[in-house]
Structure 1
Amino acid sequence: MCGIVFAYTPAAPTTAATLAAMAGALRHRGPDDEGHLLWHPHDAAFGPPRLLAGADTPATVQQAHTPWQPQGRLEEQPRLAAPLAMGHRRLAIVDLSPWGHQPMVRAGRWHVVYNGEIYNHIELRAELEALGQRFLTHSDTEVLLAAIATWGPQAALARCNGMWAFALLDTERRTVLIARDRFGVKPLYVWRGEGGALLLASEIKALLQHPAVRSAPSTAACAAYLQRGPQAWREETEFAGITRFPAGHFAEFSLDAPGALQPRAFWHRPPAANTDEPFSPQRAQALCGRYAELLEDAVRLRLRADVRLGTALSGGLDSSSIAALVNTQLRAAGRDEKQETFSSVYRGATVRSADESTFVERVVQQLGVRSNLVEPVASEVPRAHEHMVWALDTPPAGTLMSSWHTFALVARRGVVVTLDGQGADEQLAGYSRYVRNRLVHAPLAALPGEVRAFMKLQGFGSAIAIGLGGQLLRRVAGRGAVAALAARLRMGGDPARTVDEALAQDFHTHLQTLLLYGDKTAMAWSVESRMPFMDVRLVEFLATVPPAYKIHGGWTKWLARQALDARLPRDVAWRRDKMGWAVPEPAWFEGAPSPLGTWLQQQLQGSAFAQQAAASAGLSIAQAPLPQRLRLLNLAVWHRLFFEEAGRPGRLLGRGMPLQVTA
């Protein structure tokens, strides 16, 4: 995993100094190496693209006789300028040799800066070799280049199982191919200027280093954030003029006719199968077997790395499942080392509502892994919070202190890659709100059994009432009447949707925000987060599993629980208290005593921008619920870091960040 930048500014060429600054803003994403390219596509005297080293380029890269060996150093010619510039920061994970350096070149024609991992690169390499392609490295980057050269972008991307964002210059066709993975795991931001100018980067802070960018807060996006929270699936960002390249799309950009980007989708989530299919024990057994098989193979592919790996373990079903399957794969491969797990815990008397250490310990004991624990403390939050907001580029929903400190601990232990449990809930119906959708649309034959099962449990009374009332209203007046009533009552979610429709909606929206959190909080510490639940084979399989096997017998996520039941402690596999990397924010900001209540108040009172945003939204800061006050806090700190502080110095990111916690 890495960081990339691309600039095409025909009217005002990008200087070497600007390119270095843009790439330097991404050093935390790639502390192991850097490489650059400058080219003047309309000036034959400039010659072919110039490949240049940077301050962090290892000597071994400059000495290796590769086709993409740097022919000079960027800092030695800061006034060198060209209309087209590309930069790359490398976090070395696969093929640690100098041959993994980027920009990588193939056939003297294709030049790529690429961020991500193609997990099935070994299988693709074999397929390409059978077609006559030859390789110089063991890197997945070279496989990506060969795949596109052989099959073209649409077919090549369809074959790739992984996460990515890249810019690929084709000097023969004089085009740039831009692409982002199916699910939006890897970020890619876009800025367009006059005369066809185009900038791309893995993070917004890199775009802000270019002198052509004069960004300001987007009033509309900030207002939407304050009212509805972060929406990472939308094109617009909180920075005016800076957008997101859409997930699951690619675009070709012509250097000779640089018009509007026209992204084209290369993947679509499969449609749901028979949503009314009744539960069958025989069918359930087959589905459980297929689910476990796909998830285990997704884990196997994601263990491909030439660096130390670990697992972020929250103690919930999803991360515990990944930890168990990692253990299985390590044994199958004959690897003797113990798996490293990393967890945030809260054992203090006032913060135990967010503590999952009991479940973490049970998983650790059963699997025999080496457990690493970190306990975030309130006194460290103000400083850590500033680094987190700077890392994310855009304000998140809360403080994210559990994931932030977990990845900090991962970095402290020298682990570079983690396998994590993100992405299961939006595919397997893990949230309790999906119960309403199930009851509103359940076949009449299945409805009594489902209702009886949930009536035995605490906390589902409202879901049962809405489900039964919605079922009746749907049959009498239609789905539209259910949707209208839900909107009038301001229900969260939409019970008028079927389970499959609700899952598809959350998959394409809410999940992208969570994936953004996973990427940015991990990469802030120079750690790559891999997500087996986002394996395309598993995603496509789960999209077609009927709701009867996802919500069954009073259980959400039934299929996942049943499939992994024998591999996990029973009270973990069948947990009901879903927490999901909880943070004790009520205790920190509203408790008695409230260690961060005064700090929160000071931050809001000291931010004219936050006060103006609250007033525009008709929001009383003093009476606002905590989630909205935390959004205001994030908005205040975000505005201060990116727009108020002189020179936008930001905050240190990467392995050298300070961290004072009990670990």
Structure 2
Amino acid sequence: MDLKSGLYGVVRLDGGPVEAADCAALGLTRATGSFVAAGVDRVDPRAVHRADAGGCCCILLGYLDEPQELAVRLGLPVDSGFALLAAAAHARFGAEAPAHMLGEWSCLVWRAEERRLALMTSRALRDPVLHARKGASVVLAPSIHALRRLPWMPNDIDPEGFAATMARHRAVRPFNTRSLLRGVEALPPGACVTFDAGGTQLRRIGAPVAAPPFAGSFADALAEAETLLRQILRQRLARHGGLAVMLSGGLDSSTLAVVAAAERAAGQRLTLLTSAAPEESGLPDETPFARIVADRLGLPLTLVRPSPQARLFRPSRRHCLARNDPTRATWHHLYEAFFVASGAAGHAELIDGSGGEYTFTAAFPLATPAYRLRRALRRLRDHVDPRRGAPHWPEDGFNVRLAPGLLSGLPSHLEETWRRPWSAEPAFDPRGRWGYCQGVEKLDNSPSETMIGAARIVPPFRDQRLLQLFSGFPARYSNHGGASRAPARALLDGRLPDSIRLRRSGLAFCPDFYPRLAAEAPEARTRLLAFRRAGIGEWLDLDWLDQRLARLDAEPRPPVAEAFRIQITANVAEFLLAWNEGADALE
């Protein structure tokens, strides 16, 4: 069995013996008692930490970022292991422990005498924690495909769970706990769920509170931010002996590459990877910009292209097996190529510049009187012009085109959440603090292992310490000196040429997306007959998919949102087809 990284366990809360079949389904060696659990990390075994003492077993998977500080608070030696610290933090703080344990991790705490099991996650999700309870038995795993092997687990997809996994973030914010299987729930980031004879209790830690107002100058703020970013990348370099960095030559990735290169110690490796257009295609890509950065840093640049066998409309089985829900990854074929390149260079982590817009490269405008006037005029224009109308429920509430029958029976809570206040155009108060920007929680919801056995995708910009530091800065620092993304531009001043530092926009991450979309559409249409025979039309609007795929011949460049919806609908159909064929079809 190809185990996904994460926590696995079978627990009997009544003291009875665990079922051998349950253990076998999850790939666990059966124990004679009522508790068996393990942590698995396919690429970084050192990330598995375990402590057994006094009837308490704690397994922590991942890393604590400030362990010495936590140890002092808990009155423990500063060299205490991560699992010991986690157990002590849970004993001291209970369900609030995740708020005190900085880092990215998942954790299990079993207290045998109390017959109590606690599962915890860091505020930024590292590995999924899926759990289910049947009477006195609790099972947990990071993979829906492992849990569906349980002999008592129904294999039929739950319609409400499917709808929730396909919904846009606006309809399931802040986190979707539903899964494809009825009775299986996902533990949210920054949460603790406790199981005992009295029942099940879930508690999420509160939203982060903005730091006190920063009193220093812009230069002071930049110095503190750079020092912290250096610390973050220094920690990751030290843990793994090197890093791969996705480099586009844009502000986000260039900032990370510059800082990582500055912090790289003797013997540590740094590999720069960039997405390149197919050879001799003539398509524009980011290679010239990435090469400028690589040359300035004195590092080689590796060009990454998808395999010729990769298909936009047909994710690999390996990709589907790593997912707990049907994939919504539009560039899965390109990311697989990045994983191959990272693995070839021997790296366990692939640094991604996602999320820079919440700190160093924030491009939110300042809500000045002039801005408010322009926004009011845009609203008036949108009201008059029906083509610019606001999104509608349920048409715009999902990443795919759902079947009409499924749309007619949607759970009401999705619409209720969708209709809660939502600002599509956030702006900074020029007299206020930076704070935590809308949508930042989406960064926390994504696990870092997206391909079994491949390097983790790590966005340093979602580090909670960095977000907390920026939250106290004056909002006007985002546009200091009249320049947007001011912190990143200032940090790169004198380190990279202005052709990089002053870039206003970038090119497509996947240079050949549209040519592939049109070229592969006829092949994708041939899959529709298999989809219909498998009953996938109960879940997805296959007539709509057929029409949109056919239209790509005459209209090869639809609006990007439409293109993504076509692709994702086909991808989800492939996932459902494999699901119907059974778990073995995915392996």
| 1:31-42 correspondence to structure 2 within 5 Å | none
Q: Which of 184, 187, 190 is equivalent to 1:242?
A: 184
**Partner of 2:261 in structure 1?**
327
CA distance in 1, matches of 2:388, 2:184: 32
Deviation at 1:182, TM superposition (A): 0.9
User: Is the contact between residue 479 and residue 485 of structure 2 (CA under 8 Å) also seen in structure 1?
Assistant: yes
**Partner of 2:271 in structure 1?**
340
Instruction: Tell me, yes or no, if structure 1 residue 504 matches structure 2 residue 437.
Output: yes
Q: Which of 408, 412, 425 is equivalent to 2:340?
A: 408
CA distance in 2, matches of 1:392, 1:272: 36
**Partner of 2:554 in structure 1?**
none
**Partner of 2:515 in structure 1?**
587
Instruction: Tell me, yes or no, if structure 1 residue 570 matches structure 2 residue 498.
Output: yes
CA distance in 1, matches of 2:483, 2:157: 44
Q: Which of 387, 390, 393 is equivalent to 1:489?
A: 390
Q: Which blocks of at least 5 consecutive residues in structure 2 are unaligned?
A: 397-421, 550-561
Q: Which of 196, 212, 233 is equivalent to 2:152?
A: 212
Q: Deviations over 1:119-170 (max 9, x none)?
A: 2235545776xx35486xx853344345445x44467533422101121111
CA distance in 2, matches of 1:472, 1:289: 43
CA distance in 2, matches of 1:142, 1:91: 22
CA distance in 2, matches of 1:640, 1:372: 36
**Partner of 2:568 in structure 1?**
631
Q: Deviations over 1:359-406 (max 9, x none)?
A: 221111111224333211443237753322221221214242232221
Deviation at 1:108, TM superposition (A): 3.4
Instruction: Tell me, yes or no, if structure 1 residue 649 matches structure 2 residue 574.
Output: no
AA paired with 1:550?
A: S
User: Is the contact between residue 15 and residue 82 of structure 1 (CA under 8 Å) also seen in structure 2?
Assistant: no
CA distance in 2, matches of 1:204, 1:90: 17
Q: Equivalent residue of 2:310, what SS?
A: helix
User: Is the contact between residue 60 and residue 105 of structure 2 (CA under 8 Å) also seen in structure 1?
Assistant: yes
**Partner of 2:291 in structure 1?**
361
CA shift in 2, pair 1:231/1:108, >3 Å: same
- Report how many aligned residue pairs link the two structures: 531
CA shift in 2, pair 1:586/1:237, >3 Å: farther
Q: Which of 547, 556, 566 is equivalent to 1:622?
A: 547
Q: Deviations over 1:199-234 (max 9, x none)?
A: 222222222222222143232454456564896822
Deviation at 1:555, TM superposition (A): 4.9
CA distance in 2, matches of 1:169, 1:566: 53
Instruction: Tell me, yes or no, if structure 1 residue 85 matches structure 2 residue 36.
Output: yes
Q: Deviations over 1:570-589 (max 9, x none)?
A: 32333222457436322101
**Partner of 2:477 in structure 1?**
549
Q: Deviations over 1:475-499 (max 9, x none)?
A: xxxxxx99xx999533997356544
Deviation at 1:416, TM superposition (A): 1.9
CA shift in 2, pair 1:273/1:163, >3 Å: same
Q: Equivalent residue of 2:288, what SS?
A: helix
CA distance in 2, matches of 1:92, 1:111: 24
| 1:119-138 correspondence to structure 2 within 5 Å | 119-124=65-70, 131-133=75-77
Q: Deviations over 1:39-89 (max 9, x none)?
A: xxxxxxxxxxxxxxxxxxxxxxxxxxxxxxxxxxx3xxx6x6655331322
User: Is the contact between residue 345 and residue 357 of structure 1 (CA under 8 Å) also seen in structure 2?
Assistant: yes
Q: Which of 291, 312, 316 is equivalent to 1:385?
A: 316
CA shift in 2, pair 1:631/1:89, >3 Å: same
**Partner of 1:657 in structure 2?**
none
Q: Which blocks of at least 5 consecutive residues in structure 1 are unaligned?
A: 24-35, 37-73, 452-463, 474-480, 653-663
CA distance in 2, matches of 1:260, 1:324: 47
| Cα RMSD for the two superposed structures | 3.9
**Partner of 1:178 in structure 2?**
119
CA distance in 2, matches of 1:252, 1:367: 49
Q: Equivalent residue of 1:630, what SS?
A: helix
CA distance in 1, matches of 2:425, 2:352: 32
Q: Equivalent residue of 1:606, what SS?
A: helix
User: Is the contact between residue 312 and residue 342 of structure 1 (CA under 8 Å) also seen in structure 2?
Assistant: yes
**Partner of 1:520 in structure 2?**
449
CA distance in 1, matches of 2:344, 2:353: 21
CA shift in 2, pair 1:344/1:443, >3 Å: closer
User: Is the contact between residue 291 and residue 538 of structure 1 (CA under 8 Å) also seen in structure 2?
Assistant: yes
CA distance in 2, matches of 1:304, 1:197: 40
Q: Equivalent residue of 2:208, what SS?
A: coil
AA paired with 1:187?
A: P
Q: Equivalent residue of 1:303, what SS?
A: helix
Deviation at 1:352, TM superposition (A): 2.7
CA distance in 2, matches of 1:620, 1:598: 12
AA paired with 1:284?
A: F
CA shift in 2, pair 1:84/1:503, >3 Å: same
CA shift in 2, pair 1:342/1:552, >3 Å: same
CA distance in 2, matches of 1:231, 1:586: 30
Deviation at 1:113, TM superposition (A): 2.8
Q: Equivalent residue of 1:505, what SS?
A: coil
**Partner of 1:58 in structure 2?**
none
**Partner of 2:413 in structure 1?**
none
CA shift in 2, pair 1:249/1:603, >3 Å: same
AA paired with 1:636?
A: A
| 1:243-262 correspondence to structure 2 within 5 Å | 243-254=185-196, 256-257=197-198, 259-262=199-202
AA paired with 1:375?
A: R
**Partner of 1:454 in structure 2?**
none
Q: Which of 530, 533, 536 is equivalent to 1:606?
A: 530
CA shift in 2, pair 1:15/1:569, >3 Å: farther
**Partner of 1:69 in structure 2?**
none
CA distance in 2, matches of 1:497, 1:419: 27
Deviation at 1:639, TM superposition (A): 0.7
Q: Which of 236, 249, 268 is equivalent to 2:207?
A: 268
Q: Normalization by structure 2: what TM-score?
A: 0.78
Q: Equivalent residue of 2:6, what SS?
A: strand
AA paired with 1:537?
A: R
Q: Equivalent residue of 2:584, what SS?
A: coil
Q: Which of 209, 215, 219 is equivalent to 1:285?
A: 219
**Partner of 1:27 in structure 2?**
none
User: Is the contact between residue 2 and residue 116 of structure 1 (CA under 8 Å) also seen in structure 2?
Assistant: no
Q: Deviations over 1:395-444 (max 9, x none)?
A: 2142422322212211122222333323222445646xx44xx4xxx233
Q: Normalization by structure 1: what TM-score?
A: 0.70
Of all paired residues, the percent bearing the same amino acid is: 20
**Partner of 2:416 in structure 1?**
none
User: Is the contact between residue 40 and residue 48 of structure 2 (CA under 8 Å) also seen in structure 1?
Assistant: no
CA distance in 2, matches of 1:313, 1:577: 15
Q: Deviations over 1:248-304 (max 9, x none)?
A: 1223322x32x1332241x52224888xx9xx9x83223222221221122222223
User: Is the contact between residue 127 and residue 449 of structure 2 (CA under 8 Å) also seen in structure 1?
Assistant: no
